[in-house]
C-alpha cells in the first residue's frame, strides 16, 4: 500500500506583480482606514448615499411623501396615552418587550425610536437607485439606528436602571470590569474560567480517530469504527476553510461525526491549516488540489479494495466540493491537475452550500469592486485576512443581537453570556490567504462564475451541468450566510437526482441538529434526475414536514446509496501520523 502522508507541492501560482511606490502608498492609506471602518469600504457607502441623495434630491414628490410620513410618525410617538405594558410586550423587537418600556417616559422613547426605524425603512426606498446601493443605504441606516437605540444607553434603558437600583450598582461595576477587560485584552478571572470550559481534544473534537495524511494545507483524519460492520463506501467531509472542522465534532452528544460513525459509516474529516503570511500566494486551485484531490488520493491509498466515496461539504467547503465534482465529472479518466487515479464519488452532500451566488443574502452587501479592492489592500500587507477582520463583517449582519444587546448586558448589567460548545467554536477564528480570498470573492460572489459555467479549474471551465451523481442538499430557514433559496438554486443548474431538506435554525444551529434536540423540524422532498423545475416557495408548500432532526433522514439516504455492510477495518498502523484531532486545528493567532 502506498503511504498517504507524502508531502505534495502546491499548485504553482502565477508570479505576483510587484507594486510601484505609488501603489504601495495607496494601499497603506486604504489599509490604515480599515480599523476605523470595520474593514468595510467607506467608498462603497459613500457611493450608495450619494446615489440615494441625488435621486431623492430630484424627486420633490417623494420628498413630500416622506415629510408627511415624518409628521405622522412624530405625532404618533408624542401620543403616549395608549402606550402601556401590553403594548411593550407585543413589540416585535425583543429589546423593548420588558414591561418597564410601557411606562412614561420610556414608552415615548421606545415609540420614537421604533417610528424612526419605520421612517428610514421607507426613506431609503427611492426610485432610480441601483439595487445594490438601495440595499446598502437601508443596511447602514439600520446600523446607525442600532447604535442610537435607547436600549443601549444607561440613562434611557429602564431595565438597566432597575438593575442598577436593585444591585446597588454592583452589576454596573462588574460591567465596567468587563469593559476594561475587553479594551485591555486582559481577561477577568471569570473569563479565564469560561475560556477553559471547551478545550479542543478534551471537551470538543473528542471522537477517536487518527491523522492519516498531511500536506502543507490540510490534515486528514480517519475516525475509528464504533460498530463491528460498516458500509464499504467511506464519507469524506470537507468543512469550510473559514471555520475549524470541529463544528461537526463538538461535544459527544451533538457531534455529527460521532453520529455517523455510530451508524456504521467510515468517516474521514479534512482539517484546514490556519494560514500565515507565508501562505499569501495560495490560490483557489491550491485549495482544490491540496484540500480535495490530494485527500481523495490518500483515501484511495488506504482502501484495501477500491470503493467510491460519499463526499460531503459544509458552507464554502461544499462549494469547493461541487467545483471538484464538476471538474472530475468533466475530466473522466484524464484526471484533474495531475490526479488521474482517484476513487470515484458515489454521492454528493451539500450543507448550507451555495453554488449560485446571484442572491447571496446580506453578505452580498459587502461584495462589490470597491469593497474587494479595499480588502485586497488590507490582505496584501498582512498576507491574509485575519479571523477578527472576517468576524467583523458577520457581526454587522446581526449587530442588534451580536453587538448591541450583548454589550448592553455585559457592560451595563455585568452579565457575561455563558458560552456553550458552539459559541466556543465560533470564537476559534481562522485566517484566509490573501490571494485565495481575492479569487473566491471575485470569481464566486462578484462574477458568479460557477453558476454561469465560467469558473476555471487549472485553466479549464467547469460546469455543474456535468454532475450525474445523486445529490443531498440541506438549507436552513434562518440562514443569513447561505440563504436557503440560494442553496436551492442547484436544482436549476444540473439535472442530477436531488433530495432537498429545509431545516429549522440558522447557518450553524440548523446543521448541528442532533436527534433529540428540542424544537427541531424539517421538510424534505426529492426530485428525480431530469425532473421539472419547482420554485422554492412551491417546493416548501409541497415538501413533507417532520418533527425532530434531519440527521436520520440523511443517514437513511446514505445507507440506501451504499453497499451491504462488511467487517470494519482498523486504520493501518503504518499510515498513522498522530491522534485526532491533529495539529492544524490547534493553530491559533491573536488576530
Model confidence over 331-349: pLDDT tens digits? 877 788 888 889 999 999 9
Cβ contacts of 23 within 8 Å, gap of 6 or more: none
Average pLDDT over residues 344-364: 93
Task: Report the range of poorest mean pLDDT among 245-259, 341-355, 364-378.
Answer: 364-378
* pLDDT reading at 396 higher than 70: no
What span, in angstroms and rounded, lies between the C-alpha atoms of 278 and 134?
39
With residue 298 as reference, give the H or E element that holds it: helix 294-302
Share of the chain above pLDDT 70, in %: 92
- Cell, residue 378: 488590507
Q: What pLDDT does 420 receive?
A: 87
- What distance lies between CA 189 and its chain's CA centroid? 31
Of residues 436 and 95, more confidence is placed in: 436
pTM of the complete model: 0.90
| 541: number of Cβ within 10 Å | 10
What span, in angstroms and rounded, lies between the C-alpha atoms of 557 and 555?
5
How high does pLDDT run on average in the chain? 89
> In the chain, what are the domains?
209-366+431-586 (3.40.50.1820)
| pLDDT interval class at 394 (50, 70, 90) | low
Q: What pLDDT does 7 receive?
A: 41
In the block, residue with C-alpha cell 477582520: 389
Cβ contacts of 82 within 8 Å, gap of 6 or more: none
Average pLDDT over residues 428-437: 92
Catalytic-labelled residue, pool 267, 315, 367, 496: 315
Cβ contacts of 163 within 8 Å, gap of 6 or more: 171, 172, 412, 413
| 75: number of Cβ within 10 Å | 10
Please name which of 459, 506, 335, 386 lies closest in space to residue 12, comparing C-alpha atoms.
Answer: 459
Q: What pLDDT does 12 receive?
A: 47
* pLDDT reading at 5 higher than 70: no
Told to judge if 494 belongs to the known catalytic residues of this protein, a careful annotator would answer no
Exposed e or buried b per residue across 122-154, where buried means at least 16 C-beta atoms within 10 angstroms of its C-beta: ebbebeebeebbbbbbbbbbbbebbeebbbbee
Average pLDDT over residues 197-220: 96
Average pLDDT over residues 219-237: 97
Average pLDDT over residues 405-412: 85
Task: Report the range of poorest mean pLDDT among 191-200, 337-346, 506-515, 549-558.
Answer: 191-200
Q: What pLDDT does 38 receive?
A: 67
Average pLDDT over residues 97-121: 90
If DSSP codes are grouped into helix, strand and coil, which group holds residue 322?
A: helix
Amino acid at each position: 500500500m502506498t503511504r498517504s502522508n507524502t508531502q505534495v507541492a502546491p499548485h504553482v501560482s502565477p508570479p505576483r506583480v510587484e507594486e510601484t511606490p505609488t501603489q504601495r502608498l495607496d494601499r497603506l492609506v486604504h489599509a490604515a482606514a480599515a480599523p476605523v471602518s470595520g474593514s468595510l469600504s467607506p467608498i462603497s457607502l459613500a457611493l450608495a448615499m450619494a446615489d440615494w441623495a441625488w435621486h431623492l434630491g430630484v424627486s420633490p414628490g417623494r420628498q413630500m411623501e416622506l415629510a408627511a410620513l415624518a409628521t405622522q410618525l412624530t405625532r404618533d410617538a408624542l401620543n403616549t396615552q395608549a402606550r402601556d405594558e401590553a403594548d411593550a410586550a407585543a413589540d416585535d423587537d425583543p429589546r423593548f418587550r420588558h414591561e418597564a418600556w410601557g411606562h412614561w417616559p420610556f414608552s415615548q422613547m421606545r415609540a420614537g425610536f421604533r417610528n424612526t426605524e419605520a421612517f428610514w425603512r421607507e426613506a431609503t426606498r427611492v426610485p432610480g437607485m441601483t439595487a445594490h446601493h438601495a440595499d446598502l443605504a437601508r443596511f447602514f441606516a439600520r446600523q446607525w439606528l442600532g447604535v442610537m437605540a435607547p436600549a443601549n444607553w444607561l440613562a434611557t434603558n429602564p431595565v438597566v436602571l432597575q438593575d442598577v437600583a436593585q444591585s446597588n450598582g454592583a452589576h454596573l461595576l462588574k460591567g465596567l470590569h468587563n469593559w476594561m477587560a475587553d479594551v485591555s485584552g486582559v481577561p477577568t478571572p471569570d473569563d479565564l474560567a469560561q475560556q477553559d470550559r471547551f478545550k479542543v481534544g478534551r471537551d470538543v473534537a473528542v471522537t477517536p480517530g487518527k491523522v492519516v495524511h498531511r500536506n502543507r494545507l490540510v490534515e486528514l483524519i480517519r475516525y475509528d469504527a464504533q460498530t463491528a460492520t460498516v458500509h464499504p463506501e467511506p464519507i469524506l467531509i470537507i468543512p469550510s476553510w473559514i471555520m475549524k472542522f470541529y463544528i461537526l465534532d463538538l461535544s459527544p452528544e451533538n457531534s455529527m461525526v460521532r453520529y455517523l460513525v455510530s451508524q456504521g459509516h467510515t468517516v474521514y474529516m479534512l482539517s484546514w491549516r490556519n494560514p500565515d503570511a507565508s501562505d499569501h500566494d495560495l490560490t483557489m486551485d491550491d485549495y482544490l488540489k491540496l484540500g480535495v484531490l490530494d485527500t481523495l488520493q490518500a483515501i484511495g491509498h488506504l482502501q484495501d479494495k477500491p470503493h467510491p466515496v460519499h463526499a460531503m461539504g459544509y458552507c464554502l467547503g461544499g462549494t469547493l466540493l461541487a467545483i471538484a465534482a464538476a471538474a472530475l465529472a468533466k475530466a473522466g479518466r484524464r484526471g484533474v491537475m495531475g490526479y488521474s487515479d482517484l476513487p470515484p464519488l458515489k454521492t454528493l452532500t451539500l450543507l448550507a452550500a451555495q453554488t449560485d451566488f446571484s442572491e447571496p443574502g446580506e453578505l452580498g452587501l459587502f461584495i462589490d469592486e470597491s469593497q474587494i479592492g479595499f480588502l485586497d489592500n488590507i490582505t496584501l500587507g498582512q498576507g491574509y485576512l485575519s479571523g477578527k477582520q472576517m468576524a467583523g463583517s458577520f457581526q454587522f449582519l446581526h449587530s442588534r443581537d451580536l453587538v448591541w444587546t450583548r454589550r448592553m448586558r455585559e457592560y451595563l448589567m455585568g452579565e457575561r453570556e455563558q458560552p456553550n460548545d458552539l459559541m466556543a467554536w465560533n470564537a476559534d477564528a481562522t485566517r484566509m490567504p490573501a490571494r485565495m480570498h481575492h479569487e473566491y470573492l471575485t470569481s464566486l460572489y462578484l462574477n458568479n462564475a460557477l453558476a454561469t459555467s465560467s469558473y476555471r479549474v487549472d485553466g479549464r471551465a467547469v460546469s455543474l451541468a456535468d454532475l450525474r451523481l445523486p445529490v443531498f442538499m440541506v438549507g436552513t430557514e434562518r440562514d443569513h450566510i447561505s440563504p436557503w433559496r440560494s442553496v436551492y438554486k442547484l436544482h436549476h443548474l444540473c439535472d442530477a437526482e436531488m433530495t432537498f431538506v429545509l431545516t429549522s435554525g440558522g447557518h450553524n444551529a440548523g446543521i448541528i441538529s442532533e436527534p433529540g434536540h428540542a424544537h427541531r423540524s424539517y421538510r424534505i422532498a426529492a426530485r428525480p434526475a431530469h425532473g421539472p423545475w419547482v420554485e422554492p416557495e412551491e417546493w416548501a408548500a409541497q415538501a413533507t414536514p417532520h418533527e425532530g432532526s434531519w440527521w436520520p433522514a440523511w443517514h437513511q439516504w446514505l445507507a440506501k446509496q451504499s453497499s451491504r455492510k462488511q467487517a470494519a477495518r482498523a486504520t493501518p498502523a503504518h499510515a498513522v501520523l498522530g491522534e485526532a484531532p491533529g495539529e492544524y486545528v490547534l493553530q491559533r493567532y491573536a488576530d
